[in-house]
Amino acid sequence: MKPNHAPTEAKIERGDQDPHAGHDHAEGEHEGRAHGSNRVESISLVISGILVGAGLMAEWLGLLGKKGVAALAVGGMVASGWFLLPQAGRALIRFRPDINLLVVIAAVGASIIGEWIEAAAVVFLFGVAEWLEGWADRRARRAVEALLEIAPKIASVKRDGKFVEVPVEEVKVNETVAVKSGMSIPLDGEVLAGESAVNQAPITGESVPVDKKPGDGVFAGTVNGEGSLEIKVTKIAGDTTLARIIRLVKEAQEQKAPTQRFVDVFARYYTPVVTLVALLIFLIPPLAMNGDWSQWLYRACVLLIIACPCALVISTPVSIVAGMAALAKRGVLVKGGAHLESIAKLKALAVDKTGTITEGKPQVQGVETLNQKSEQKILRIAAAIDDHSAHPLAKAVVEYAKKQGVEFPRAENYQARSGRGAEGSVEGHDYFVGNHRFTHELGVCSEEIERRLAAVESKGQSVVVVGHRPHGHCKGEVLGILAVGDTVRPNAAEAIRALHAAGVELVVMLSGDNQRTADSIAKQVGIDEARGDLLPADKVTAVKALREKHGSVGMVGDGVNDAPAMATATIGIAMGGAGTDAAIETADVTLMTDDLGKIAETIRLGRRTLGIIRFNITFALALKALFLVLTLIGHASLWLAILADTGATLLVVANSLRLLRSSD
């Protein structure tokens, strides 16, 4: 599988970061975004705004004199710049200019030529821009972190025959908890007693409550309906599905998308280059053309403010976090911004059949006997061997045998044949159960058997062939055929249409089942191409071929059996992750329910996210270019530059946060 890093505890929450941290775009980092989260800093900005506003009014009205106005301006700069100076100092010591240093240099330059209020406004409005970015980041993250609040902190646990309330952290696996009607379920578990409809929207995004009865699984953070439930705890508080989702989303938010990495690298070189250009603008005209020192110092300061890439750098991370938060609220877990960008570029999608296009709950539809063997004899042999397997078809055979009242031993010398079937000894005789392909490999598929198998497969059903295993001088023979049918998911056809509408050019079904069955299922739901008789290694080969032809390819499976193919694809997408820990851990994208339609929804939102990022970057760069020209010809001021920079930041933030409306 693709590398899966352990959740990073350090600096996952903004509140864990150094409140005095600042931007260091020269190193491609975007730290200290939480200025606005600190109450002291928020108050400092208010004080600074009051002082700068008072100084501006005093200057316009001719009050207090130059010294009084300068004093108000200095007070405003100190109030909003105390967290700016340490970062600027560090950038200067390392000779790596960043936004903080640019703003400080511009403010100092404006002060030198007597533009005290403009200098103070630069520092104040930069602080406001920082506050906006911090607020945007927290707003995007809050959509996911709000999940923490939905799980109750107290559980009613049965101890010594009585239910007592204890913190959820103290509840152990296998203990019984009671959940009253209308209450949230505190921990993952299995229903022991009671029936109720449970609202699973916080975990799976399902809009309709799901009926739960004894034996069904439930998840922490979901809401019990009108019934009362007793639940056996299966996971402690730190290991619940909800807790794992929150950890993985936070980890994903720390991973940078390709676009974000590009912006960081761009800013690393962009900032020092602009600083050098500003220095040349300040020095060359006065030295070479007898220009006015004050005038060119002012223009250099304006250029430095124009150079601040606030809007550019914030354009990607806020969009990525907002997009992932919107999907998490809908039951789609994306493991990082890189994967959100990749899924937006999907051209082809490979899907497994069982459990993806079909319900994954096959049932035996009929039994054909050969060589005068009884139906009970066939079921007895098949169930004895399949009792060793967890494969859906094997489970269907065992369940059907039990339902028919057939008693069977457990086969000895069991050996699974990947993608084909299995072999074993039952009461001293060697038998096999397997698919159509296996009968050919064993050399037991006669023309009559071929005709019978084709008749079953033409109905879209799978075959389980039961027979004597070739051994020594025994050529082997087919004793019976089980027809096993799986129900196509009700929304499968609609989901495939939605995928095509979302821009996926080719949907291919990869199945270990026979080609006739695969073709029949594909035709029912509108899949472009079906490939049957595939072993796990064949699926990997098929995905590689799709990547060579289409570039960006997704693979949808259950996150376990299809792991090699999912790892080979550009994006591995797991179905039904709410019930599978392995799916959450291994897939790049996990659908918490078995709703194939959410893939098209994820692709659309991924493309919308990418579109917003591209607009934000283009807008930010275009604005910088415009004001650079205005500065060089003398038509831009410090006021206009800082207002434009703050306005651009506000617009980029607002544009990015529109993605959160997708979670409503």
CA 60 to chain centre: 53
pLDDT (tens digit per residue) in 135-171: 656 665 565 556 556 667 888 999 988 899 999 889 9
DSSP code per residue over 287-323: HHH---HHHHHHHHHHHHHHH--HHHHHTTHHHHHHH
Domains of the chain: 14-144+250-322+608-663 (no CATH), 152-239 (2.70.150.10), 363-485 (3.40.1110.10)
Of 197, 229, 192, the closest CA to residue 212 belongs to: 197
Of 477, 476, 446, 479, the closest CA to residue 379 belongs to: 479
d(CA 58, CA 55): 5
d(CA 616, CA 316): 8
* Radius of gyration over every alpha carbon of the chain, rounded to an integer in angstroms: 33
d(CA 162, CA 119): 69
CA dihedral 245, 577, 524, 434 (to 10 degrees): 160
- Max CA distance (Å), the chain: 114
pLDDT (tens digit per residue) in 320-362: 778 887 887 787 888 777 788 888 888 899 998 877 888 877 8
Structure tokens at 333: 């877990």
d(CA 439, CA 22): 68
d(CA 404, CA 401): 5
CB 208 within 8 A of CB 158: no
- Coil/strand/helix, residue 550: helix
Of 329, 355, 331, 217, the closest CA to residue 593 belongs to: 331
Out of 352, 387, 558, 588, the active site residue is 352
Phi–psi pair at 430, nearest 5 degrees? -90, 125
User: Which residue is associated with the tokens 């066939």?
Assistant: 378
Of 404, 401, 473, the closest CA to residue 433 belongs to: 401
- For residue 431, the model assigns a pLDDT of 94
Count other Cβ atoms within 10 Å, centred on residue 458: 12
Verify whether residue 352 is a known catalytic residue.
Answer: yes
- For residue 628, the model assigns a pLDDT of 76
- For residue 2, the model assigns a pLDDT of 40
Burial degree of 207 (CB within 10 A; 0-12, 13-18, 19+): exposed
- One-letter amino acid at 575 equals M
- For residue 14, the model assigns a pLDDT of 30
- The ranges of the chain with pLDDT < 50 are 1-37, 663-664
Alpha helices in 28-171 (DSSP H): 39-61, 65-81, 85-93, 99-112, 116-145
184 Cβ contact list (under 8 Å, min separation 6): 150, 151, 152, 221, 222, 223, 224
